[in-house]
Structure 1
């Protein structure tokens, strides 16, 4: 069984010349490729695999971040083909009326490019704002993404090196200097409540991606529990029993969560959780259930990112 991870699936936006995304036409071509090469795992078979520990044969489609792209381009195509997907939605944007920090980074990179953003970061970041020993993440993060060196370094700097206490203010300042107010931008960026409900009623799995898309491993156990429980509560208020009882780690990888995270998921009765290790899901993964691997879509035919 192969888990495949998607984020942005859209068409060209001239105002974002350096924005990386999977073009909607390539997404359709990739579905054709997966159908021919592997076939797809239906929803019932996926849940049976999680319960029994026996991997089904085929592809499981997963979509992170609750982006409006998923309603505009992904959902119609899946419905047309009789397919389903797991959509992992963070609850934070619906509370704060602004982009999550991870998406602020994407928008800044899309508008400015890696070199210009890195220059602005170096102007603003002081030594005391960095986590001691954070350089270790430089050799383990964003390895499968198709980024230039400056883009990779900018993402590592913001998402792994800067202390959480400084990250919000740093990105808010950058967003204000580049885009002005975020309110309208955020309203257009994410799925609406009605779209989430429609997708759940249409057979899609709507699962939790935490509240603020933060590195859970940087939080104590109490803060992690709040991130997870608040997100599930929000989704259940929209989708009720149709909410998918599974989780997807923000950022993913072993550096993104810890034993506290897994203990909380087990305590809450969450059925499984996805990470980002690029390999197929085997029996051992399904017996563990809380670090299911996924391939990035760009590792397969028709998955090359478009720019701008």
Structure 2
């Protein structure tokens, strides 16, 4: 079957203006409620089970106007705000938590960066602080200039200066160094340790088990939340294996399971690993309708919440 459907991607969903971090980029809870009204009036919200049944041939039919809701990164927002709203509306959705921050109370670099940016008044000063950190580690001016020229390109959601800061700390620098610098800047700007902050940001394993009991699907978002296309094949396989072990511990499916690529990043090696591991579906960050073609089922597109009225 080559069914077509809409998938919506969410991250932070909370009462942002009344929170301790009103500068965080996310979806206000009231906007989420209005968006669910909008989507429910135009689409049939489907579950992961319906999607899997369609692909495996166990479903007699599939809605022409199907819509799947997906929530990335395992935020506590999803338990406090999203789950009660979905249960109240008798809706199901997919949740994709990375394992390490939930089990070890660490903070993903990507989230540390989000909160640094949320509290920083001057992004240019932030970039200067980053460059100063690198100069103390003997990085050459030529290298730093080349990085600025290459990475300072605006994206769909962020200006060039923000993209430069994010890319340097998300993937350009060696993993241990970028984590060290991110931790330093986080403690300077946010004023908390990553360990204490982590416990309030992510769901617990008990929260995830409750999601499953309420009929939600919990799938893989890897272990560390690396850019999979920026690490070698052995590391990719370790990331996926450790995530599957985590899913098994919380009672989530590990047969005909669903993958969600951190940052939407993957390569051919990723796809080959997933095929060997009995993965059925994979979600990217490519923008567009999802086409349920068995030949492309590991490269499904998604829309962002900002692509729909709120």
Asked whether the two chains share a fold, i.e. TM above 0.5, the reply is yes
CA separation of 1:281 and 1:106: change in aligned 2, threshold 3 A: same
Secondary structure at the residue paired with 2:44? coil
Bigger mean CA offset, 35-44 vs 213-222: 35-44
Q: Gaps spanning 5+ residues in structure 2: where?
A: none
- Considering only aligned residues, what root-mean-square deviation do their CA atoms show, in Å? 2.6
Decide whether the 8 Å contact of 2:244 with 2:254 is kept in 1: no
CA separation of 1:246 and 1:73: change in aligned 2, threshold 3 A: same
In structure 2, the partner of 1:71 is 79
CA distance in 2, matches of 1:248, 1:260: 15
**TM-score normalised by structure 1 residue count:** 0.87
Equivalences for 1:191-270 in 2 at 5 Å?
191-241=203-253, 245-252=257-264, 256-270=265-279
CA separation of 1:161 and 1:242: change in aligned 2, threshold 3 A: closer
Residues 1:180 and 2:188 are matched in the alignment? no
CA distance in 1, matches of 2:90, 2:83: 10
| Cα displacement string for residues 5-47 of structure 1 (whole angstroms, at most 9, x for unaligned residues) | 0000001255424211100000000011111122312343211
Secondary structure at the residue paired with 1:208? coil
CA separation of 1:279 and 1:159: change in aligned 2, threshold 3 A: same
CA distance in 1, matches of 2:150, 2:279: 31
CA separation of 1:22 and 1:238: change in aligned 2, threshold 3 A: same
Equivalences for 1:293-308 in 2 at 5 Å?
293-302=301-310
Larger radius of gyration: 2
Decide whether the 8 Å contact of 1:245 with 1:270 is kept in 2: yes
Bigger mean CA offset, 158-167 vs 216-225: 158-167
| Cα displacement string for residues 177-207 of structure 1 (whole angstroms, at most 9, x for unaligned residues) | 2323222211111001111000011100001
Secondary structure at the residue paired with 1:125? helix
CA distance in 1, matches of 2:292, 2:194: 44
In structure 2, the partner of 1:158 is 169
CA separation of 1:235 and 1:137: change in aligned 2, threshold 3 A: farther
Deviation at 1:153, TM superposition (A): 2.9
CA separation of 1:117 and 1:239: change in aligned 2, threshold 3 A: farther
- Length, aligned pairs only: 294
Secondary structure at the residue paired with 1:69? helix
Query: Alignment partner for residue 109 of structure 2, among 101, 104, 107?
Result: 101
Query: Alignment partner for residue 90 of structure 1, among 98, 103, 125?
Result: 98
Decide whether the 8 Å contact of 2:98 with 2:221 is kept in 1: yes
CA distance in 2, matches of 1:240, 1:20: 29
CA separation of 1:49 and 1:222: change in aligned 2, threshold 3 A: same
CA distance in 1, matches of 2:125, 2:150: 24
| Cα displacement string for residues 48-73 of structure 1 (whole angstroms, at most 9, x for unaligned residues) | 23324997432100000000000011
Q: Gaps spanning 5+ residues in structure 1: where?
A: 303-308
Deviation at 1:109, TM superposition (A): 0.8
CA distance in 2, matches of 1:137, 1:46: 38
Decide whether the 8 Å contact of 1:88 with 1:208 is kept in 2: yes
